[in-house]
Chain A
Amino acid sequence: MDTAASETPMTLPRVAELFEKTRAEVAKVIVG
């Protein structure tokens, strides 16, 4: 995990970024 990134203040654009990243990671295994 990118420690620097995780220490970035939690703003709404950061929430959207984390959502996309989480979705992308899950999609590596889960289809649909």
Chain B
Amino acid sequence: MEGVVVALFSEGSVLLEGPPGLGKTLLVNVLARTVSCHFRRIQFTPDLMPSDLTGHSVYDMKEQEFHFKPGPIFTNLLLTDEINRSPPKTQSALLEVMQERQVTADGKSYRLRRPFLVLATQNPLEHEGTYPLPEAQIDRFMFKLLVDYPSIEEEGEILGHYAAGRDPRDLSGFDLNPVMRAEDVIAVQEATGKVIVETSILRYITEIVAKTRSWHSVLVGASPRGSVNLLIASRVLAACRGRNFVVPDDVKEVAPWVLRHRLILRSEAEIEGERPDGVVGQILDSVTAPRS
């Protein structure tokens, strides 16, 4: 949950991966209510076209000209459910817009709202009828967060909501109050830019990312975009923890969120059971953290 809030404060998009029924969609619904901002949800399906997302031009018979009809992407928080169910053409359209924060149609550019972030869900268990996101495009997600099954205690809490007559399908029973507005998210980003990042922390980040490119079990490591996101996320986390400076533990905490989807492991390493999170952990252990 913390990762999603840090992503929101960083205006960074998130890929949420986990089996169905774990509340990924509910989490985004709740977040949209907590931050009083515009929210749209779109279910990715095999027949979803890029213009279904971005919008399209409609001919106005009366004025005898085309008018652009904006698609659901013109929002603050966009939930794209099961992103890997749509073909690469539609995925690419979304991921390009995520990068450029504008839609170009008929030679005209239309800016998206700010803040703009995509919260995409995908189910790792099903492969039939899915189109895996290309590695180059998955890099555009600031974080990949894994949603796992709840512990017995947590599952008890979930049942407790239902036992008390509160059904998450109707959030009115949960007394949710918005705590900030869309413009506050932009102000948060500006404020976190004041968090001090010592040169030693910058070097720590670059050493970690450089190691992802030369690590024995990694075929392709993280891009410079990975370094930048590691820096931004560490800075935001430091501010969320009430500090005006980044410590190595901030970098270590966000590193799996930022790096796990940016590593392509060698096939022999995968066969031996290596996983990106394990590799990120090994790399963090191998780089000496600066003294804070």
**A16, A27, A30: the one within 8 Å of B239 (CB):** A16
Chain B interface mostly: helix
What class of interface size applies to chain B in its complex with A? 35 or more
Q: Give the CA-CA distance A29 to B168 in the complex, in Å.
A: 7
Bitwise, B19-37 to A at CB < 8 A (1) or not (0) is 0000100110011011110
Q: Find out whether the CB atom of B35 lies under 8 angstroms from the CB atom of A22.
A: yes
Chain A interface residues (CB < 8 Å from chain B): 1, 6, 10-16, 18-19, 21-23, 25-32
Q: Give the CA-CA distance A31 to B30 in the complex, in Å.
A: 12
A18 to chain B: closest residue by CB: B180
* Chain B residues, CB < 8 A from A23: 1-2, 5
Listed stretches B89-97, B110-118, B169-177, B213-221; interface member: B169-177
Contact A16:B190 (CB < 8 A) given known A25-B30, A26-B5: no
**A13, A15, A29, A32: the one within 8 Å of B176 (CB):** A29
Q: Give the CA-CA distance A19 to B158 in the complex, in Å.
A: 23
Q: Find out whether the CB atom of B31 lies under 8 angstroms from the CB atom of A26.
A: yes
Name 21 interchain pairs, CB-CB below 8 A, sorted by A: A6-B181, A10-B188, A12-B195, A12-B243, A12-B244, A15-B188, A15-B192, A15-B239, A18-B188, A22-B5, A22-B34, A22-B35, A22-B179, A22-B180, A25-B33, A26-B30, A29-B171, A30-B1, A31-B23, A31-B158, A32-B151
Q: Find out whether the CB atom of B242 lies under 8 angstroms from the CB atom of A16.
A: yes
Q: Find out whether the CB atom of B184 lies under 8 angstroms from the CB atom of A18.
A: yes
* Chain A residues, CB < 8 A from B150: 31-32
